[in-house]
Amino acid sequence: MILRSLLASTGLLLGAVSPLAQADTLRLGIGEWATGQASTYVLKAVLEDAGHEVEIRSVSLAAIWQGLSVGELDAFTGAWLPVTQASYYEGLADQIDDLGPNLNDARVGLAVPSYAEATSMADLAEAGDAFGERIHGIDPGAGIMALTERAMEAYGLDDWRLIAGSDAAMSKTLETAMGRQEPIVVTAWAPHPVFSGQSLRYLEDPEGLYSQDERIHTVTRQGLDEEQPEITAILDRFAWSADDVQGLMEANQANGDYEANARAWVEAHPELVAEWLGEND
């Protein structure tokens, strides 16, 4: 009943008749953060050029994982593992297919501007006044938010608040604070456009709650490889680096035109796209 209510609230009701249920349309769940927006729209452009229909579904992270597990979504390119989204993956690992990393050398944690005096999360308990006892975060269902709630408990930040919002809202708040040279703590991950042109640094994490060695995986519903082997092969070959995605994320942050920016990126990287399409095999 809980799962049914969750899927119904997001338009992913099991058994419902939906245009997304068409077998010839790939249903991509999107993570509404910088890397997720970049990878999802780039793959949409690549797959459409290869003759496939693609529909993007923007729902909560929990609904994405549940949707994959019951076959109401086909694929997701924003699975941060092994730590950040572990609670989702571990509960559904036997109900989805993990195609492996599409981006290595990712990282999550808490970050502050370089001018802030705090160097460790252990410093925050004594620096509440400077930071307003607030950590600025993103979507409340995101894995990094759950990790941050654990960190607040571990580091004695009982009187602090974790401010939920969008990736864009967090980035704007950070930009404003840094323009005023004000101390601020944000949930942070790399790659991300906020690390371009802004002097940010991660706080040390003595408790080891966050991951400095994350990878972003592509996961699919079970059976997609049998029903859509060509699509699954493209999803499986999809891989890029932080350098590949950085400029695209910056363009997305600047104008929010994900479709056009993805199309421009695809046209500017024909050799990498050819690898994903298997044209170099």
Structure confidence at residue 258 (pLDDT): 96
Instruction: List the one residue out of 81, 51, 60, 99 whose CA is nearest residue 221.
Output: 99
Would you state the pLDDT for residue 7?
44
Which pLDDT score is estimated for 77? Answer: 97
Q: Which residue has the tokens 């404003």?
A: 176
Q: Return the beta strands (E) in 30-118 as ranges.
A: 53-57, 75-81, 96-113
Q: Which CATH superfamily groups domain 107-202? A: Glycine betaine-binding periplasmic protein; domain 2 (3.40.190.100)
For the segment 228-268, what is each residue's pLDDT rounded down to a tens digit?
999 999 999 999 999 999 999 999 988 999 999 999 999 99
Which residues partner with 167 through β-bridges?
none
Cβ(161)–Cβ(133) under 8 Å? yes
The pLDDT of residue 23 is 55
Architecture of the domain made up of 26-105+214-277: 3-Layer(aba) Sandwich (3.40)
- Determine the residue type at 263: R
Do β-strands 134-136 and 96-113 pair in parallel, antiparallel, or remain unpaired? Answer: unpaired
CB contact set of 132 (below 8 Å; sequence gap of 6+) = none
CA distance linking residue 271 with residue 265, whole number of Å: 12
Phi, psi of 100 (to 5 degrees): 95, 180
Q: Which helix (H) or strand (E) holds 259?
A: helix 258-268
List of E strands, 114-227 = 134-136, 161-163, 186-190, 200-202, 214-221
Q: Is the Cα torsion angle 190, 192, 197, 200 positive or negative in sign?
A: negative
Contact 63, 87 (CB under 8 A): no
DSSP string, 122-155: GGGGG-HHHHTTEEE---TTSHHHHHHHHHHHHT
The reported pLDDT for the residue numbered 281 is 65
CB-based contact 214:203 (threshold 8 Å): no
Listed by start position, the domains of the chain span 26-105+214-277, 107-202
Burial status of residue 95 (CB atoms within 10 A of its CB: 0-12, 13-18, 19 or more): middle
pLDDT along the chain (281 residues), means of 10: 41 40 80 91 97 95 96 96 92 96 94 94 96 94 92 96 92 92 93 78 94 92 96 98 93 93 97 94 65
The whole-model pTM stands at 0.83
Same fold yes or no, 26-105+214-277 and 107-202 = yes
